[in-house]
């Protein structure tokens, strides 16, 4: 029987997990909770009202924004600005960071990085999507303007990270460095209940997630690893199963629960892969590590990569520790000529 405790109560109860926080981080979680409930409502009625379809505007990546991308971004922005604990926000949907550093937000000490609705191209086909967020303490002087340096911090400096998965049920999963905890949304009363305390990623698994449509472009090491996954070997549970939803949060969440590896390698026309370091790879990498998993770019620990640009991309290998390490072994054995991993 899981404890009947809501996310809000749990965050307050675990206040000691938020180092040096004087209730501000729990207020930030309140904003994330509220915006997530609003996005949940819109996603669940998206098929009923004319909210689906491209909004016509493109985001910084040149990807056509779905209306719900824009909607979700606006809701998280509004919720954060209203509370005054966040002095700035960087989003996949915004070219540069947004400063809230005036009025009641002036001098607040946290910044938020977010992908408000990852995998949104799946919305039209009714497949799960997700929000991914990351929170840092700002490093620029509290009495000055928010700076780009506040956002370009390595993942090992995060104070909180999490995701919301809008799937068969809506769940919020987070870490503040003391384990990973999952909460399931009950829309009938509008609360997130603690449902998965201290989540653990199995050390091993038999699921691999990768877009094999790009096979011809993959580095040799990835091709060798896929061959390894597909060989017959009952000893090591092979051949593995291929599962690729096209929604990072969904593949990540399933692999965390069942064991598995998600890979988005780099290749010739995507020299740094596709996924963004700051608001996709870092938050999920911290959650992976906090639950016993691993996350690298094929060589380096994701959380130690020093960012240079807000929207920079990195190759991504994340999930069960032994699977990530096996993939890295193949990458080392077959270093790609153009350094892709
Ligand atoms: P591809 C969605 O656009 C996303 O960022 C992830 O959620 C997903 O895993 C990946 O890209 C899918 O990319 O190139 O395989 O379609």
Quick one: average pLDDT of 60-64?
66
- Among 16, 37, 36, 35, CA closest to 25: 16
Decide which of 101 and 214 is more confident: 214
Question: CB within 6 Å of ligand 1 — which residues?
Answer: 118-119, 121, 211, 246-248, 274-275
316 is in an annotated binding site: no
Domain covering 7-196 in this structure, CATH number = 3.30.540.10
291 is in an annotated binding site: no
Quick one: average pLDDT of 195-205?
98
Q: In the structure encoding, which two tokens stand for residue 241, read together?
A: 């199963």
Q: What's the DSSP call for residue 63?
A: P
Phi, psi angle pair for 203, to nearest 5°: -60, -30
Q: Give yes or no for residue 269 having a pLDDT over 90.
A: no
Burial class (CB in 10 A: 0-12, 13-18, 19+), 176: buried
Q: pTM score, two decimals? A: 0.94
134 vs 63, 94, 179, 242, 331, CA distance in Å?
22, 16, 15, 29, 29
Question: DSSP string covering 303-337, please?
Answer: GG----STT-B--EEEE-HHHHHHHHHHHHHS--T
**Alpha carbon of 97 to ligand 1 centroid (Å):** 23
- The atom number, within ligand 1, closest to the CA of 119 reads 2
Helix axes 248-258, 282-290, angle to 10 degrees: 10
To 10 degrees, the CA torsion angle through 281, 282, 283, 285? Answer: 80
Q: Evaluate whether ipTM surpasses 0.95.
A: yes
Confidence of residue 14 (pLDDT cuts 50, 70, 90): confident
Tell me the pLDDT of the chain averaged across its residues: 91
**pLDDT at site 45:** 80
- CB count, 10 Å around CB of 9? 14
Alpha carbon distance 73, 116 (integer Å): 5
**pLDDT at site 48:** 64
Confidence of residue 47 (pLDDT cuts 50, 70, 90): low
Q: Give yes or no for residue 199 having a pLDDT over 80.
A: yes
Portion of the chain with pLDDT greater than 90, in percent? 75
Alpha carbon distance 339, 87 (integer Å): 38
CATH fold of 207-337 reads D-Maltodextrin-Binding Protein; domain 2 (3.40.190)
Q: What's the DSSP call for residue 231?
A: S
Residue nearest (by alpha carbon) to ligand 1 atom 4? 119
Alpha carbon distance 179, 286 (integer Å): 10
Domain-by-domain residue ranges, the chain? 7-196, 207-337
- Sign of the Cα torsion 33, 35, 38, 40 reads negative
Q: What's the DSSP call for residue 301?
A: B
133 CB-near residues (< 8 Å, 6+ apart): 32, 76, 112, 113, 114, 115, 161, 162, 163, 279, 283
Decide which of 270 and 248 is more confident: 248
Question: DSSP string covering 253-295, please?
Answer: HHHHHH--EEEE--BTTBTT-SSBIIIIIHHHHHHHHHTT-EE
124 is in an annotated binding site: no
**Alpha carbon of 158 to ligand 1 centroid (Å):** 24
């Amino acid at each position: 029987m899981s404890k009947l405790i809501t996310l809000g109560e749990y965050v307050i109860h675990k206040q000691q997990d938020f180092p040096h926080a004087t209730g501000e981080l729990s207020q930030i979680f309140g904003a994330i909770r509220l915006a997530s409930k609003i996005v949940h409502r819109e996603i669940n009625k998206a098929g009923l009202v004319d909210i689906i379809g491209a909004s016509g505007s493109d985001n910084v990546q040149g990807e056509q924004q779905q209306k719900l991308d824009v909607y979700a971004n606006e809701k998280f922005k509004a919720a954060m600005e209203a509370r005054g604990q966040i002095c700035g926000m960087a989003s996949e949907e915004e070219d540069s960071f947004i400063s809230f550093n005036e009025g009641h937000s002036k001098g607040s000490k946290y910044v938020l990085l977010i992908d408000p609705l990852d995998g949104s191209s799946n919305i039209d086909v009714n497949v799960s999507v997700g929000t991914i967020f990351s929170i840092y303490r700002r490093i620029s002087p509290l009495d000055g303007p928010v700076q780009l340096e506040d956002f370009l911090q390595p993942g090992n400096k995060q104070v909180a990270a999490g995701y919301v998965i809008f799937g068969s049920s809506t769940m919020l999963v987070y870490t503040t460095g003391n384990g990973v905890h999952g909460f399931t949304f009950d829309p009938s009363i509008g609360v997130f209940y603690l449902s998965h305390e201290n989540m653990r990623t199995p050390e091993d698994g038999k699921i691999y997630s990768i877009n094999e449509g790009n096979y011809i472009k993959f580095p040799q090491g990835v091709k060798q690893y896929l061959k390894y996954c597909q060989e017959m070997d009952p000893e090591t549970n092979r051949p593995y199963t291929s599962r690729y939803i096209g929604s990072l949060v969904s593949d990540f969440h399933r692999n965390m629960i069942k064991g598995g590896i998600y890979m988005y390698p780099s290749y010739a026309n995507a020299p740094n892969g596709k996924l963004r370091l700051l608001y996709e790879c870092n938050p999920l990498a911290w959650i992976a590590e906090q639950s016993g998993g691993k996350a690298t770019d094929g060589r380096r620990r994701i959380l130690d990569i020093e960012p240079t640009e807000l929207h920079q991309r990195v190759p991504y290998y994340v999930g069960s520790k032994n699977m990530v390490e096996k993939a890295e072994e193949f990458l080392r054995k077959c270093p790609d000529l153009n350094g892709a991993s």
